[in-house]
Amino acid sequence: LGQDRSGKATISMLVTPAMKKVAMVTPPCVTNWPRVTGDGNFGTMFGPADITKAKFSLDLTDAAINAVDNAHYAAWSEMMTKVDDKLLDFVHGEQLKILGRKNLTRDEIKMLQIRTVRPKYDKMSGTLIGHSVQATTAKFASPGPT
């Protein structure tokens, strides 16, 4: 638990004992709307005015690949759900520092949380048609310490 430049609480996931940031590799997935070309979201209505802050985004779905169910996505989805649950437990325990609130139930905090793997529903019937993850990454990486 730390703070950003504006004093807001930030949460980092680290691996001990070296205290290294966690990086995860996704399984092969089908994407419905890749936006990983050109300058990403730079120049769009919702994108930044500075190209160095541009991001690429895509959705990773559990759709079948070449008519074969994506078993790797299911295992990855379970792992990400466990991470989300650990994060939820942490935020519940530290809610005053993070949310500025106290006495919220775990379910109330869960309603505020944006889960990693989200259900997708058919717009006409409302039936569950799959799951997806929305991923973003910066177009430019920091060169690191000099």
What pLDDT, on a 0 to 100 scale, did the predictor assign at position 86? 93
Q: How much is the pLDDT for 7? A: 81
Which pairs with CB-CB distance under 8 Å and at least 24 residues apart come from 39-44? 39/139, 40/139, 42/139
Buried b (16+ CB within 10 A) or exposed e, 71-88: eebeebbeebeeebeeeb
Per DSSP, the three-state class of 15 is strand
HEC profile for 48-63?
A: CCCHHHCEEEEEEECC
Q: What is the pLDDT along the chain (146 residues), one digit of tens a residue?
A: 777 788 888 888 887 788 788 878 888 888 877 666 667 767 777 777 777 777 777 788 999 999 998 889 989 999 999 999 999 999 999 999 888 899 999 999 999 998 999 998 999 999 999 999 887 777 666 666 65
Report how far residue 65's alpha carbon sits from residue 5's, in angstroms, rounded to the nearest whole number: 43
d(CA 87, CA 41): 28
Cβ-count burial of 70 within 10 angstroms (0-12 exposed, 13-18 middle, 19+ buried)?
buried
Is 125 in a helix, a strand, or coil? coil
Nearest residue to 116 (alpha-carbon basis) of 86, 72, 95: 86
Distance CA 26, CA 122 (A): 25
